[in-house]
Amino acid sequence: MKFGGTSVATLPRWQNIRELVASRRAEGARVLIVVSALSGITDALKQLCAQGDKSKRIEAAAAIKQRHHELLEQMQLAPPEGLLARLDDLAQLAEDGPRVLGELAWQAQVQAHGELLSSTLGAAFLSATGVATQWLDARECLTAIALPNQNERTRLLSAMVEARPDPVLTARLAGLGEVFITQGFIAREGRDDGIAGRTVLLGRGGSDTSAAYLGALLKAQRVEIWTDVAGMFTANPRQVTGARLLQRLDYEEAQEIASTGAKVLHPRCLSPLREPRVPLLIKDTNRPELEGTVIGPEVREHAPSIKAISARKGITLISMESVGMWQEVGFLSDVFAYFKQHGLSVDLIGSAETNVTVSLDPAENLLDSDAIAALATDLAKVCRVKVIAPCAAISLVGRGMRSILHTLSGVLAEFGQLRVHLISQSSNNLNLTFVVDEEVVDALVPHLHDLLIGAGALRTDDSALFGPSWEALYGRGDVAPAAASWWRTDERQRLLDIAAKATPRYVYHLPTVRQQARELKKLAAVDRLHYAVKANTHPAILGALAEEGFGFECVSPGELRAVIAAVPESAPLLFTPNFAPRGDYEFALTTRATVSLDALHPLQYWGELFRDKEIVLRVDLGRGLGHHEKVRTGGSGSKFGLPVDQLDSFLRLADAHGVIVRGLHAHLGSGILDDSHWGEVYGQLASLAERIGSVSFIDIGGGLGVPSHPGEAALDIAGLDRVLREVKTAYPHYQLWMEPGRYLVADAGVLLARTTQQKGKGAFRYLGIDTGMNSLIRPALYDAWHQIVNLTQLDAPATALYQVVGPICESGDVLGTDRRLPEANEGDVMLIAQVGAYGKVMSSPYNMRDEAEEVVIE
């Protein structure tokens, strides 16, 4: 059991340690405790070492002494003799300075005192509170090996140990007792000449590695890393509060996450455990009841997924341009020889015919400006050198990275705005790394983490791997838990009864529609809301939204008729067709709908039809947005909207026919979760409206996104309102309209189907259900992701990995790929969630299969 700095810094933490050790003893295990220095002490010791002034060093040693005495006082313990002796040693080292031992050996000896002190103190506390504990000197167990490429600095401050199972040590400990405590971070230099080697360090954060070495030497049942967080998360939880706990990882993935920047594990601490197959557990000392992360040898069957995003700061890039001949033979060998000579280990490499650029990671190299300058001077003998710093490396980590590249388009788009100095895809296929300027990472990482969830690249729906978010485990009390879906709790039995009568069936839950409507009515800046009925034209839904005071936006005569039949006359209507025939406008003009135009053609050729009418003009602001290329409705690649450069021609035609442009409209796409977008559209439309003169309202469209993946953040309605109110203050003379569709109805609808057949084929298991793309085309058309659950076995463990497919004769008839679900039986009721929008309305009689019926529940 290894306890980190914060885990050993206070009396309550030591009481936790005592309980934990006692509970392991009660299980019959023998325990070796490995401790770090009290939090902050290693830093203080490093500062002491950097101090040239003797009296300042002595002062620093006294402060460290004081800190340990305070903890002893809290523990109500008299200072044990061993501790006093060590404190005296430290005072002596501070007084002597480096002159006796030599600079680096002295530094190692001084810094080793952090762990020597904390372990001595811990042994006294545990023994005094009833857990008889033997103190062990880690330097008698761990011998550092001298590697040919190490220089004196790495040999003393970042040493390596070869840890093979050691039956002699195991037997020795067996003879000594049941509970031991020793130091992390330190080892003894190995020597062939029989002289006792010097004290060496394992590198910052190296106590984890001590625990791993000892775990391997003793072939332990397991190594437990007790820290201040309940495991390894999908990102640094202090930076990304939505980061999810990784419940299980294999050594390779965990290694990759650690070495790309997740400080929770020292990057070297997994390799010693691989060969003896010792599992490693990460747990929170303060919250031992939380599950934590298990890292072990077994690779579980799961879909390729990004597991984490990590970042490392302080990266230095060295760009080397060959000054000699094109494709000069031996260039790499020449330049790398200098890196070796300077004891610097290269991390990432990018190469071209005349240039090679490498990165140096501060975790692997003791980098300082002198070291870099010395290297650059030598390199300049064979090439032109450029040093780029400070940089940061952002890594996406997960097994099978190359097979999930297609899910990363939105994530990659973020790098469009940034200077990317280097991209590297690791040859083990476990990471994709971007080197950017250091200053951008703090803001970028949380944003990329959200995008990875939204894109389904981080498969948070796989609950066997991805546990709760950090916020859910530790978050502030005032964060409301995500509302459980209506179908998961109260209505499950009702849905099973509905499915028992017939499947496939769409079921709509009206309370959810009303709840979403009320949410949008909180937008104080918006004067009128229209429901974009193309999402779902069921009369009960139209009726419910009319009761909530919504207007209706229709795109065809059929929709107009359906709405007119279902809602009271007082409800306002909009008609916003696209490339519609003349007859559609003729019909619409006989209704009370406000008609919108988005091309010159209608006024050029059918101008008389619109004489003296008030219309809405839909413009194209030159760009599109949304969750998929096929839902972006702006930009020259889309057929919607009048390009702004044709505005003057349009206004001349309107004038010629006495047509008044009363409204101005744009809609850029759908599934947008970023509230700032509508503010931009609103501002642009308002400034165009100023040019037109006759405008009295601005319609900024819909596209309000609904999160689909577990853990994806919902649109911030209050934030959106703030954005809109700001624009409104500048343009108070225009009414503001919106036309949401999906936002109102998506979550209200589910599709129920029954399982038919199963088939294993190659690596895949297919689970058939009795409807497919004929009922729900979104997955095939937009790559849309819909949650799928086995409603019959809702709480059964999800042990199978299925491709969920329908009965349609198309290979695209796949409703969900790689879904972790309970082992299904024929006839189980499957529920496909979030299909209230663009579900039934897009269904077809393809293959002459009966269309799903619709059922409405209150």
Instruction: List the catalytic residues.
Output: 809
Query: Pick from 235, 507, 595, 686: which binds ligand ADP (CB under 6 A)?
Result: 235
**Do 178 and 28 meet the contact criterion of CB atoms below 8 Å apart?**
no
Instruction: Kindly identify the residues of this chain, within the stretch 190-209, that bind ligand ASP according to CB under 6 A.
Output: 204-208
Return left, alpha or beta for 592; rule: phi > 0 is left, psi -120 to 50 is alpha, else beta: alpha
Contacts of 763 (CB under 8 A, 6+ apart): none
If binding is defined by CB under 6 A, does position 792 make contact with ligand ADP? no
Phi then psi for residue 514, to 5 deg, are -65, -40
Q: Which residues of 574-611 are buried (b: 16+ CB within 10 A; e: fewer)?
A: bbbbbebeeebbebbeebebbbbbbbeebbeeeeebbe
Residue nearest to ligand ADP (CB): 4
* DSSP structure string for 577-642: -SS--HHHHHHHHHSSPEEEE-SSHHHHHHGGGGTT-EEEEEEE-S---SSSGGGB--STTSS-SE
CB nearer to ligand ASP: pick between 115 and 739: 115
The answer to the question of residue 232 lying near ligand ADP (CB under 6 A) is: yes
CB nearer ligand ASP, residue 186 or residue 673: 186
122, 184, 454, 816: which one binds ligand ASP (CB under 6 A)? 184
- Does 7 contact ligand ADP by CB under 6 A? yes
Rounded least distance, CB 306 to ligand ADP, Å: 13
Number of residues that bind ligand ASP (CB under 6 A): 13
How are beta strands 528-532 and 735-738 bridged, if at all?
Answer: parallel
Closer to Mg ion by Cβ: residue 184 or 772: 184
Q: By CB under 6 A, is residue 42 in contact with ligand ASP?
A: yes
CB nearer to ligand ADP: give 446 or 643.
446
Structure tokens at 205: 């954060």
Q: How far is the CB of 232 from ligand ADP (least distance, A)?
A: 5
Contact mark string toward Mg ion, 205..224, x via CB under 5 A? x-------------------
Q: Can you tell me the distance from the alpha carbon of 550 to that of 702, in angstroms, rounded to the nearest whole number?
A: 14
Residues 738 and 551: their CA atoms lie apart, in Å, by 10
In this complex, which beta carbon is closest to ligand ADP, that of residue 205 or of residue 343? 205
Neighbours of 85 (CB within 10 A): 12
Binder of ligand ASP out of 6, 7, 16, 36 (CB under 6 A): 36
Which one, 37 or 831, has the nearer CB to ligand ASP?
A: 37
3-state SS assignment for residue 520: helix
**What's the CA gap between 560 and 574, in Å, rounded?**
9
20, 229, 546, 780: which one binds ligand ADP (CB under 6 A): 229
- At closest approach, how far in Å is the CB of 8 from ligand ASP? 9
Pick out residues in 116-175 that bind ligand ASP (CB under 6 A).
none
Query: What is the torsion angle, in degrees rounded to the nearest 10, for the CA atoms of residue 211, residue 216, residue 220 and residue 225?
Result: 30
Least distance from Mg ion to the Cβ atom of residue 208, Å: 6
Site string (25-54) toward ligand ADP, x via CB under 6 A: -----------x------------------
∠ CA 654-656-659, nearest 5°, is 35
Q: Which C-beta is closer to Mg ion: that of 14 or that of 331?
A: 14
* From 227, 259, 395, 537, residue interacting with ligand ADP (rule: CB under 6 A): 227
CB nearer Mg ion, residue 226 or residue 785: 226
Looking at residues 166 to 225 of the shown chain, list those that interact with ligand ADP (rule: CB under 6 A).
205
Q: Which amino acid, one-letter code, is at 268?
A: R
- Is 6 one of the binding residues for ligand ADP (CB under 6 A)? yes
Candidate list 18, 94, 114, 567; residue touching ligand ASP; CB under 6 A: 114
Q: Which residues contact 748 (CB under 8 A, 6 or more apart)?
A: 508, 509, 510, 512, 513, 516, 541, 836
Provide DSSP, 645-686: GGHHHHHHHHHHTT-EEEEEE---BS-B--THHHHHHHHHHH
Which of the ranges 25-33, 36-44, 136-144, 733-741 carries the binding residues for ligand ASP, by CB under 6 A?
Answer: 36-44
Of 228, 291, 823, 851, the residue at the interface with ligand ADP (CB under 6 A) is 228
Element (H, E) at 160: strand 160-161
Fill in the per-residue mask, 2 to 21: x = in contact with Mg ion (CB under 5 A), - = not in contact: --x-----------------
Is the preceding omega at residue 272 within 30 degrees of 0, hence cis?
no
- What is the binding site for Mg ion (CB under 5 A)? 4, 205
